[in-house]
Structure 1
Amino acid sequence: SRRSSSSVPTSPSPGRQVAAGSGSRRYTSTFGPYLLQRTLGEGEFGKVKLAIHLDTGKSFAIKLMKKDSLDQQTTKRAKVMREISIFQTVSHPYIVAVEEVVETREYIGMVMEYASGGEMFEYVLTRRQLKEPEACKFMCQLLSGVAYLHNRKIVHRDLKLENLLLDGNRNVLITDFGFANRMQAEKPDESKLLLTSCGSPCYAAPELVLGHGYMGEAADIWSCGVILHAMLCGFLPYDDDPTNPDGNDINLLYTYITGTKLKFPDHLSFEAADLMSKMIVIDPSRRARMPEIMDHPFLEPY
């Protein structure tokens, strides 16, 4: 979700309004047992608000979605219901936890743990690039969460810096399962192929656009390789096409990806470059699999 600096709404609210103080005309909104505060982000279905539990005082992030908007678009509603279903079946230290789902007459709200460290995107942006030991730690945490999902036959399909959060101890939290899907383990291999193109073009594997189907696990691994590249280099691979500088033309972007050799800055260690060269591989059948990645020397410290 994209960050927003919007303040707490003082007019129509998801719940009742509570006076901020004696004699004050300022009001704050509540949603169930939660006091809504500032907006943390804004996504496809609504806003994500910082919220305080009225009884415990604990901070949470609530993803608020208008029910009438979801009811008007069945595909959106199905996507939200799938995200909620997946969130409620996973539990991992490096995946955002959903505490509960609260439903009112107008809204559905996913109550999630609050990642006080903010977005990984902002963290990397302010530092331009990360040192290898820190990037190694973050990558190990990310891969631990992704491996957990894959072992449960779940693929994320939209891994990117913006969908990684940091908790108060600067640990990774994977979020936004709007594009996630389940793989059917009992079916033959050819029927495990996913057909829906999704995710962010600059992080998405080329087979999402160029092929007739793809293995979700391999696509997630490509995205993890791009994330590592962004952490260590401060920019995304394949973003230097002068004819398509912003990557807006998806077909042109993937033509450039498949026709351009991956290069790394000189300051990177051999181990870092070698790991990325095994993950960011055009042919998904030749792309490193999770056991090989986790056994790579670059990740050995963690």
Structure 2
Amino acid sequence: MTGPKYPKVVGYELVVQIGGGGFSTVFRAVNISEHRVAACKLIRLTAETSEKERKNVEKEMRIHAALKHTNVLEFLNAVVVELKHQATYVPGIYMLLEFGGGGDLFDKIAPDVGVREDVAQLYFNQLIAGMNYIHSQGVCHRDLKPENMLLDVAGTLKISDFGLSAVFRLKESGKTRTLTERCGSLPYVAPELNSDQPYYAEPIDVWGVGVILFTLLVGNTPWDEPTMSSPEFCGYANGSIFSEEPWNRIPAEPLSLIRGLLTVDPANRMTLNDAFQHPWCMRPSQLAEGNPLELAERLSQSLRDNGDLDLAAPTLNDSNMDGDEDQIMLSATHQSQFTQSLMLFSQTQSGARYTPHLTRFYTSLGPSLIITLIKEALENEKVKCKDAPVIKNDRGVELHKLRIGGWDMRKQMFKGWVDVEPFSYRGVEGSFCVMRRDEGNPISWRQLWKVLISAPLVEPHVLRK
């Protein structure tokens, strides 16, 4: 007897889990007959699911489905499987979304380093173009943060996750309302959300955009929260922080833009129109002309410089692409120069496979040995670990899994998995290890990956280029 399965969603089969947050799971979905790939976000329905929760998801879908812009992840379709069908199918709301084939933007950025100015300018301009369109539709995002910035296969930025979004202006009448709900993640929220007063929608997103620009240039968020209980925010508010690291290494032009976007008083804060007209944003950009290869090289330069890419993608053999879904992945990506150059295809036992997570490494020990050392190394860093049953993947290969979670230096929760599978390297049995993040800041996740591969228990067994 097999249990309930996942339904086909308008021709797409759910093939592998690629992420998930507190309330949802995200799968890669393929339409084999049409050689197309999508993402499917599943929000499970149970007997405990309230009417309010369902209404919130319906609102998210209604808002997201209406947004069509090159820098907004596209909403494709949705199906609902009710509880009465649970004997056959997993009950839930299945949202079919555009697939972010380039993975997380911030997964490609070295912590505390950031990206080159030209790369930051390109992605910032794409971000404000997308946000300007969203605002023009009367919608406020309210949850702008690194984990909601995805890339497509050509390296174009896609704004995702409209779970906290709200309509602040009616398109028909133009009537605008203030908002009252407190939401968002503390390192990215605007300071006016600390009071119980209603707030204007657009300045909230402008603040989030400013935090993301800082994070692009520096490789970290500016503070843990925008209140006087944060020493960094106090230093920002009184102006003393600008002579300190990392603020003192931001060039004058982008720094003036960041300060305008992060003006504490929302009445004086820069608008998106102001940002478009800022000299830094108006600089001619060679990257904007669209060479995916050059963009991938420049985006991942900090990971090349510090050696991270040599560990994530060492040249181990010349495997050919294998597996149906990866063939589809390649044939569906006409501009896969970007994903190829970023090394988003990993060499595994059965050939090369699409793996968007650059938080991965190879070891000279077999899975059962290395996962024990990984667990001990992470627990030494106060990370909570829970063993998961060994399973066989779609290729019949045994997969060892570890569920991990904890809190980063910005007091943000992270959750994810360590997946370990066997890998044969020049006749020696070893392992391929991937850290998959479900929740939390991609930069903090990369820091944890670095701590793990540098741990005395693990480091001697990591294979290098």
Q: Which runs of 5+ in 2 are unaligned?
A: 83-90, 286-465
Partner residue in 1 for 2:259: 277
2:98 corresponds to 1:120: no
Partner residue in 1 for 2:408: none
1:260–1:61 distance in 2 versus 1, CA, 3 Å: farther
Three-state SS of the structure 2 residue aligned to 1:94 is: coil
Partner residue in 2 for 1:38: 16
Q: Which residue identity does 2:281 align to in structure 1?
A: L
Give the Cα separation in 1 of the matches to 2:39 and 2:105.
16
Shift of 1:252: 3.1
Partner residue in 1 for 2:81: 104
Give the Cα separation in 2 of the matches to 1:188 and 1:112.
30
Shift of 1:213: 1.5
Partner residue in 1 for 2:371: none
Q: Which residue identity does 1:83 align to in structure 2?
A: E
Q: Which residue identity does 1:14 align to in structure 2?
A: Y
In terms of mean alpha carbon deviation, does 98-107 or 124-133 score higher? 124-133
Is residue 191–residue 227 contact of structure 2 (8 Å, CA) maintained in 1?
Answer: no
Partner residue in 1 for 2:39: 61
Partner residue in 1 for 2:162: 177
Partner residue in 2 for 1:50: 28
Three-state SS of the structure 1 residue aligned to 2:267 is: helix
Partner residue in 2 for 1:265: 247
Shift of 1:11: 5.6
Three-state SS of the structure 2 residue aligned to 1:284 is: coil
C-alpha offsets along residues 34-77 of structure 1, whole Å, 9 cap, x if unaligned? Answer: 222221211232200001013212110000122336x6223321
1:49–1:76 distance in 2 versus 1, CA, 3 Å: same
Give the Cα separation in 1 of the matches to 2:281 and 2:193.
27
Three-state SS of the structure 2 residue aligned to 1:273 is: helix
Three-state SS of the structure 2 residue aligned to 1:220 is: helix
Q: Which residue identity does 1:13 align to in structure 2?
A: K
Aligned length: 268
Greater CA radius of gyration, 1 or 2? 2
Partner residue in 2 for 1:244: none
2:57 corresponds to 1:80: yes
Is residue 112–residue 220 contact of structure 2 (8 Å, CA) maintained in 1?
Answer: no
Kindly report the root-mean-square deviation, in angstroms, between the aligned alpha carbons of the 2 structures: 2.5
Partner residue in 1 for 2:130: 145
Q: Which residue identity does 1:96 align to in structure 2?
A: L
Give the Cα separation in 2 of the matches to 1:127 and 1:280.
20
Q: Which residue identity does 1:61 align to in structure 2?
A: A
Give the Cα separation in 1 of the matches to 2:190 and 2:44.
32
Shift of 1:188: 6.7
2:92 corresponds to 1:95: no
1:130–1:235 distance in 2 versus 1, CA, 3 Å: same
Q: Which runs of 5+ in 1 are unaligned?
A: 1-9, 16-29, 240-246
Three-state SS of the structure 2 residue aligned to 1:252 is: coil
Partner residue in 2 for 1:243: none
Three-state SS of the structure 2 residue aligned to 1:226 is: helix
Is residue 201–residue 250 contact of structure 1 (8 Å, CA) maintained in 2?
Answer: no
Partner residue in 2 for 1:14: 6
Shift of 1:276: 0.3
Shift of 1:32: 5.2
User: Which residue of the other structure, out of 117, 121, 143, is the alignment partner of 1:136?
Assistant: 121
| TM-score, with length taken from structure 2 | 0.54
In terms of mean alpha carbon deviation, does 166-175 or 52-61 score higher? 52-61
Give the Cα separation in 2 of the matches to 1:127 and 1:38.
32
1:100–1:132 distance in 2 versus 1, CA, 3 Å: same
C-alpha offsets along residues 70-127 of structure 1, whole Å, 9 cap, x if unaligned? Answer: x622332122111100111110000000111122342221101100111123122469
Partner residue in 2 for 1:222: 207
| TM-score, with length taken from structure 1 | 0.81
Is residue 100–residue 110 contact of structure 1 (8 Å, CA) maintained in 2?
Answer: yes
1:31–1:238 distance in 2 versus 1, CA, 3 Å: same
Shift of 1:160: 0.6
Q: Which residue identity does 2:77 align to in structure 1?
A: E
Give the Cα separation in 1 of the matches to 2:131 and 2:140.
8
Q: Which residue identity does 2:270 align to in structure 1?
A: A
1:288–1:298 distance in 2 versus 1, CA, 3 Å: same
Q: Which runs of 4+ in 1 moved over 4 A?
A: 185-189, 253-260
